Structure formats: C-alpha cells, structure tokens
Structure 1
Amino acid sequence: MDTTHLVDPELLDTLQQLPPLQLTPEALPVVREQLAAAPPPPLPDGVTEEEVFVPREGKDPVRVLVHRPAGTAHDAPGLLWIHGGGYLIGSPDADRAQTGTYAQLLGAVVVSVDYGLSPENVAPGPVEDCYAALRWLHDHADDLGVDRSRLAVGGASAGGGLAACLALLARDRGEVPLVLQFLVYPMLDDRTVTAPDPNPTVGQFIWTPEFNAFGWRSLLGGEPGADGVSPYAAAARAEDLAGLPPTFLEVGSLDLFLEEDVEYARRLTRAGVPTELHVYPGAFHGYQMVVDAEVTRTSFQLGTSALRRALRPGDGETPRQDAAGRATVTG
C-alpha cells in the first residue's frame, strides 16, 4: 500500500529527495565507511566533549562521549544516551549535536555510548555495553559532578530499544535507580518481523520491514520471532513491566514500530508505570531530520519538557527552543 498521501506535507519534500538506503549484509561495510567519513555535527556553544574508555574486567572497554555545558553545577542530573542505527550502524559522534543540546538545555551531563554493533556483537552484548556505561556514570557520579539520584536513560530507534532493555536490566539487577526511560520510536519487538497480519500503512519509508528483519537477525544471531528471545534483547518480550521507571514514548503514525510501541505503552500503564505517549500523524521513522517542520518542533519541545520534569523536578517548563542542528540516526 502506497502511503505517500498520508505523509505530513511539511515532511514530504525532504522524504522524496532522500537517496535510497541500501542496507544488506553485502552493503553494510560500505554504508559504515560512508557514515564514518561524514564530519560529525558541531556541538552547541558552551558545551564540552570528553572521550572516555570505560574499563571492564575481562572485556574490552566501552567508549563513551561525555557532554556537559559550561558552568554545570556539582549536582547535575545525568542522561545516558544510546544512538540508533538498527543495531547495524550509527555512533555517538553522529548524535553529538542532539546530546549536546540536551546537555545545554537541561544543565545535565550526557553520556553517549559507543556500543558494539551487530552482527559482530550479538545480544546480550550491546545492552551489556550500555549497562557498563550506566554503572560507570552511577559509580563515578561524584567525579562527574552528577547527582546519582537523578539518572535517566534514553535513545532513538534501536537506541530506544536498547534504552528499554537497559531499564529492564537496571530494574532486575537493582544497582542503578532510574527516574525516566526516554524512548523515541524505539525498536522493541522482534516479532514485528513475523507478524501474520502486518499493518499496511506503516514501514514504507526509511526503516522498512526488510531492514527490520536484517537488524533483528543480526542482533539475535538467529531468526526473529523464535521462542526464547530475551527481554534484554527485545524489551517487548518482558512478561512483567512493573517497577520500571516513568516512561516517555513517541512514535509516528507511519513508523514501522507504531503498533509495538503503542502496545508497550499500553502494557506499561497496566503495570502501574507512569507513561506519556505521543503518536504523530503523518510522521515516518526518523522524521525529525526535517528540523523546521512543526511536528519536529512539537516533539522536541514535549520531549525536552519530559526530560526536564524528570531530571529537574520543580524547575518549571523548558523554554521553547528550535530543534535545528540536532542530528538523528535512523533505524
């Protein structure tokens, strides 16, 4: 079903000008090389960046980028950010404008994780990389000038899926309390690949069913939809969502992840988890690349407001800001 007529008119011109993405096992090395060769977006004025390699016993260290605004108080909140890319591509460097903007607007220390990509790093490798970074942020809070009682995790697409898995892992291990999971069109459920009656109005643009199958197959090291997939790989597989942190979740109505995301939000509310859900009509996966569109400005404002309420309770609402300059990696 062609859903072009359903696309938000402010998003349509950019969508139609995008070159087709070739994402196959054969093309993956070339796509990664092209992305690595692109210059990273600039940081907002007054935001610093530090590269840190988080040590792990018996394993390779995890690279993170630490962004902080000038004049950060000693008790700043902390946000662990996880980039997207379908578990196949992407890096924290590509998200540095976005994470730097969050650091600037929230007065927060933002730690962005360079987790191992698949298929080289299969589950639970990526979420364990993220957990190592979260533990480092928590355990070194004093050195980082972070208030360890105000920590959140967030990410977009595959990064949102990892953030949801990480929130489950943090709940179950009981070592790092979280005040928010911030999920931007998260990739939550491998069973979407094998759904017997797929939604005909989603998944035509940017992140397609074919890409989704490739991403999940690469992460799982096997076929998606099989029995026994861990909730630390696909958060929608968790049977019990009680005790998770308050949740912000947004997704577009044309996004392949629409139904799995809405279902996850429904289950969270039934488990007693305070949940804020936004579905944006006419928005496809990665729509925030159109930074001047009204839907992008709205989602940025609402998302930043949710982060502020969780990380800076009592400070009031976020001033209205333009979203220009923020980077988004799809998938």
Structure 2
Amino acid sequence: MPYSKYQGPSSEWTDFIHTTSLPVPSPSSASQTPEQLRAATNTARLQASEEDLQITGLRDKVSWQDHCILTRDYENILARVYKPKNMPLETLLPVYLYFHGGGYIFGTLDTEDASCCRIVAASPTPGVIVVNVNYRHTPEFKHPTQFNDAWDSFQWLSMHITSLGGDPNQVVIGGISAGAGLAASIVLRENTRLQQSQTLAKLNIRGQLLCIPWLVHPDRHPLATNQNASLKQNTDAPVLPMSLLKLFTDLLSIKDPADPLFNVALAAEGSLKGMPRATFLIAGQDLLRDDGLLYADRLGKIG
C-alpha cells in the first residue's frame, strides 16, 4: 500500500494536541439531529474565528463586502470578498476563490472570516483578493446543489472579477475538505470545457490549492478494501471519524456513487491533461488522506 507510510501521527501533531484545544468539538453525538449538530459546530467555529480576529487585529488590515450570486435555480447565495485595506485603486490583484470545509453541512461565511483575512493580510504587497462562497448545505440541499453552486460562483466571478479589482489572468481556486472537492470539480470542469471548445477562458486558473480534499465517494474508493488504506487505518480518527463521514455522505443523498462530480480523483486520464498546477495539504492520520495522494499522483504522472 503506497500511502500507509504517511500514517503518522507526526511528532508535531502529538505536541500540538498536548498543548492546544481543538476549536471544534468532536461532533459524534447520536442524540443530535443534523440541524442541531450543525448549529453546535458552527457556533464553535464562529467563536474560534471571532477570537482569532480579535487577537490578531486582522480587522484593521482587511476590508470585506458581501455580494449576491444568482444560481441556476434562481436562488441567491452569498460571497464575501476580502481585500487589503488601502488597496491601490488602479491595481488588479490576484484572486483566490475559496470554499470552506465541513462535510457539506458545516460552515458559514462568518466562520471563515479569520482564515480569509489571514490570507489577505499575509500576502506580499500589493496583495490578494479572497472570494469566500457560502454554497448551500445539507440536510436541506442535496447533491448536486453544492457542486452547482460552486460552478455558478465561478461563472459569477468570471463576469465580475475586474469590477471587484481582480486580475482575470491570476486566479487560484481552493478549499478545505469538502470545499476542496468543490474547488477540484471546478478546475476539472473548466479544463474539460476548454479541451472541447474553441473559446478562450474568461478566467486564467493559475493553480488549485486542495487541503485535506474529499475527492472520492467512500463506496467507490479503489483502495477501500486494503487494510492499510486511510479509510481502514483512520476509522476512528480525531475530527473526522468514519461515522461522521458516513453521516456527511448520507445527508447528500447521492443517487449514483459513481457520479463524476463526486469522484474527481477518478476522472478519465484524458480530462486531466493540461491541468493547472496543484498544491496539496494532506494529513496522514485522516480518512481522506488517500483521496489527496491518489489525485496528486495521477496529476503528477500526466505532468
């Protein structure tokens, strides 16, 4: 099994958990409804974000504004656009289109404020713009609503990027966990579209950032039966045990586990040619470890 060598835990993680409280409690109570679980988790994430903003003084360095995105089913979702304060008026900045994690059920615009502000504040002059999309969540909205919202937000950005002060030739798309799956689906879909058409890209995707990405349906994972696969080794992993991943999957009500939207890491080889560069952040002691490593290997072999 090629990926079990990354299992861990690393010494850095061991030191971390001995000195730091995880900001999100383990959401494993069988007595809670999905809605109650979401409310409790989002409250904890929001509190952690607010504390981070206050401690770091990020509000003094970053400004933000909310925008409405009209979806294909004529609903509105929100995107929060973060910019450096005192941004040069005539300078078009690189744009990072970001999707939060949380199994398609957790996360809000507000829970991501600290993370998005930190990216803006830490970027070298003249800076970067972050677009944080609040796609719709389960249990109210089933698959493929989340993927449709992500694509619709990419289309919205292509129409409005310059008015936001962004450079259409410098776009990076990324996210965390479920959000990384949404980001990867956009990049793959746009790459396939460009392969099949003669039109020019409205946005030049320079790269994708996939952090602990969820890229394969658990029932379709090619490594799932191997005892050294991450789905076996990390069944009781902290933060994301198998019981929680199953809940996430069940709430999506995916009719076909082989749906290509939900299996980006298994995409046809031809559709991966010409893909923009990808950066992966992967945790060894994580159920989704092999999703990211499998996709990284496939992209690396194609070049």
Shorter-chain-normalised TM-score: which range?
0.7 to 0.9
Instruction: Name 1:229's counterpart in structure 2.
Output: 259
Instruction: Name 1:150's counterpart in structure 2.
Output: 170
**Which residue of the other structure, out of 104, 108, 113, is the alignment partner of 1:96?**
113
Instruction: Name 1:50's counterpart in structure 2.
Output: 65
Identity of aligned residues (%): 23
Q: Kindly state the Cα deviation for residue 202 of structure 1 after the two structures are TM-superposed.
A: 2.5
Paired residue secondary structure (2:262)? coil
- Alpha-carbon distance in structure 1 between the residues aligned to 2:41 and 2:100: 14
Instruction: Name 2:16's counterpart in structure 1.
Output: 11
Paired residue secondary structure (1:87)? coil
Alpha-carbon deviations, 1:183-237, whole Å to 9, x = none? 01111111367622243433421101121122123234347xx4x322x223123
Instruction: Name 1:244's counterpart in structure 2.
Output: 275
Gaps in structure 2 of 5+ consecutive residues: 1-6, 195-200
Q: Which moved more, 1:212-221 or 1:202-211?
A: 212-221
Instruction: Name 2:299's counterpart in structure 1.
Output: 268
- Alpha-carbon distance in structure 1 between the residues aligned to 2:278 and 2:9: 32
1:77 and 2:110 matched: no
Instruction: Name 1:313's counterpart in structure 2.
Output: none
Paired letter, 1:202: N
**Which residue of the other structure, out of 208, 230, 233, is the alignment partner of 1:181?**
208
- Alpha-carbon distance in structure 1 between the residues aligned to 2:208 and 2:115: 17
Alpha-carbon deviations, 1:104-125, whole Å to 9, x = none? 2221111101001123322321
The answer as to whether partners of 2:9 and 2:284 remain within 8 angstroms in 1 is: no
The answer as to whether partners of 1:121 and 1:219 remain within 8 angstroms in 2 is: yes
After TM superposition, the structure 1 = structure 2 runs for residues 180-199 of structure 1, keeping only pairs within 5 Å, are 180-191=207-218, 195-198=224-227, 199=229
- Alpha-carbon distance in structure 2 between the residues aligned to 1:5 and 1:142: 44
Change (3 A) 1:76 1:157: same
> Considering only aligned residues, what root-mean-square deviation do their CA atoms show, in Å?
2.6
- Alpha-carbon distance in structure 1 between the residues aligned to 2:31 and 2:216: 21
The answer as to whether partners of 1:202 and 1:253 remain within 8 angstroms in 2 is: no
- Alpha-carbon distance in structure 2 between the residues aligned to 1:21 and 1:58: 32
Paired letter, 2:63: T
TM-score, normalised by the number of residues in structure 2? 0.79
Change (3 A) 1:197 1:23: farther
Aligned length: 266
Q: Which moved more, 1:9-18 or 1:121-130?
A: 9-18
TM-score, normalised by the number of residues in structure 1? 0.72
1:22 and 2:49 matched: no
Change (3 A) 1:250 1:5: closer
Change (3 A) 1:64 1:257: same
Paired letter, 1:45: D
- Alpha-carbon distance in structure 2 between the residues aligned to 1:17 and 1:101: 17
Instruction: Name 1:61's counterpart in structure 2.
Output: 76
Alpha-carbon deviations, 1:95-144, whole Å to 9, x = none? 11111111222211111010011233223211221122222222112211
- Alpha-carbon distance in structure 1 between the residues aligned to 2:142 and 2:282: 26
Paired letter, 2:250: R
- Alpha-carbon distance in structure 1 between the residues aligned to 2:75 and 2:175: 23
Q: Would you tell me which structure has more helix in proportion to its own residues?
A: 2
- Alpha-carbon distance in structure 1 between the residues aligned to 2:171 and 2:238: 34
The answer as to whether partners of 2:78 and 2:133 remain within 8 angstroms in 1 is: yes
The answer as to whether partners of 2:72 and 2:152 remain within 8 angstroms in 1 is: no
Paired residue secondary structure (2:268)? coil
Q: Which moved more, 1:49-58 or 1:191-200?
A: 191-200
Instruction: Name 2:239's counterpart in structure 1.
Output: 206
- Alpha-carbon distance in structure 1 between the residues aligned to 2:206 and 2:212: 19
Change (3 A) 1:141 1:263: same
Gaps in structure 1 of 5+ consecutive residues: 273-331
